[in-house]
Structure 1
Amino acid sequence: MKETAIPDEVRLALMRKLAQNPNVSQRELAAELGVSLGKVNYCLKALVKVGWVKAGNFARSSNKAGYAYLLTPKGITEKAELTTRFIERKQQQYDSLKKEIEELKAEAKQ
């Protein structure tokens, strides 16, 4: 069941980046993911709302607008499920492409 309107691939990419670096800025996330700052902000708010990410201010940061984005236990579980679905989808695409390439090679030989 999808609890957010965020596409799986965007959600997975965002959650992977947060797991690697919880202190990453929204601007950095936007640049790394190739999406707008507004989309990153929307996605983060949605992930916080469903309880997959917890946002908190840095305790001793000079940049008081800075946040740390931590995956919650529920978020870690969701990330694992997203990863599994992503791998399955990519495996199906790979198998389909492999079959198509084999067919094209066979046609080219004729």
Structure 2
Amino acid sequence: MTSKRTKLQEDTHFRVLRLLQENPEMSQRELADAVGVSVGGIHYVLNALIDKGLVKLGNFTAAEDKRRYAYVLTPKGIARKAALTRAFLVRKMAEYEALREEIEELRKASEDLERRIAD
């Protein structure tokens, strides 16, 4: 069984890979804001993704500041993003179903309580 920490890490990696695929020239600060983690946390995540061969670092040629980088998904990164997407969807659909059932139970309990009060 996957731990809560591993799920959180997978969700963070999924979100970062998704954002970078859409916009490889995002800065670390922009990524941190979008994902909801610190800039230091994003730096750590990006280094992990680069070390795993999922993201490669390239120069962002359109930037005036030539020290700015683009984070480009590698073919391995694209495949990993697809796998993380499937896992994310399965997990979120299960959460959705559990929440839907809980809402239905609460709705029924509320209706029963209202009937008892009205009687």
Aligned length: 107
What are the ranges of 5 or more consecutive residues in structure 1 without an aligned counterpart? Answer: none
| Aligned partner of 1:58 among 53, 60, 65 | 60
What SS does the aligned partner of 1:51 have? coil
What are the ranges of 5 or more consecutive residues in structure 2 without an aligned counterpart? Answer: 113-119
**Residues 96, 61 of structure 1: CA spacing in aligned structure 2 closer, same or farther, 3 A cutoff?**
closer
What SS does the aligned partner of 1:35 have? coil
Tell me the residue number matched to 2:47. Answer: 45
Tell me the residue number matched to 1:93. Answer: 95
Structure 1 vs Structure 2 CA RMSD? 1.9
Identity %: 45
Aligned pairs for 1:1-110 within 5 A: 7-59=9-61, 61-110=63-112
- Give the AA of the match of 1:26: Q
Structure with a larger share of its residues in helix:
2
**Residues 57, 105 of structure 1: CA spacing in aligned structure 2 closer, same or farther, 3 A cutoff?**
same
TM-score, L = length of structure 2: 0.81
Report which of the two structures shows the higher radius of gyration computed on alpha carbons: 2
What SS does the aligned partner of 2:48 have? helix
Describe the superposition over 1:43-101 as per-residue Cα deviations: whole angstroms up to 9, x where unpaired: 10100000000111234643122011110000001001101111110110111111111
Deviates further, 82-91 or 62-71: 62-71
Q: Distance in 2 between matches of 1:60 and 1:106?
A: 58
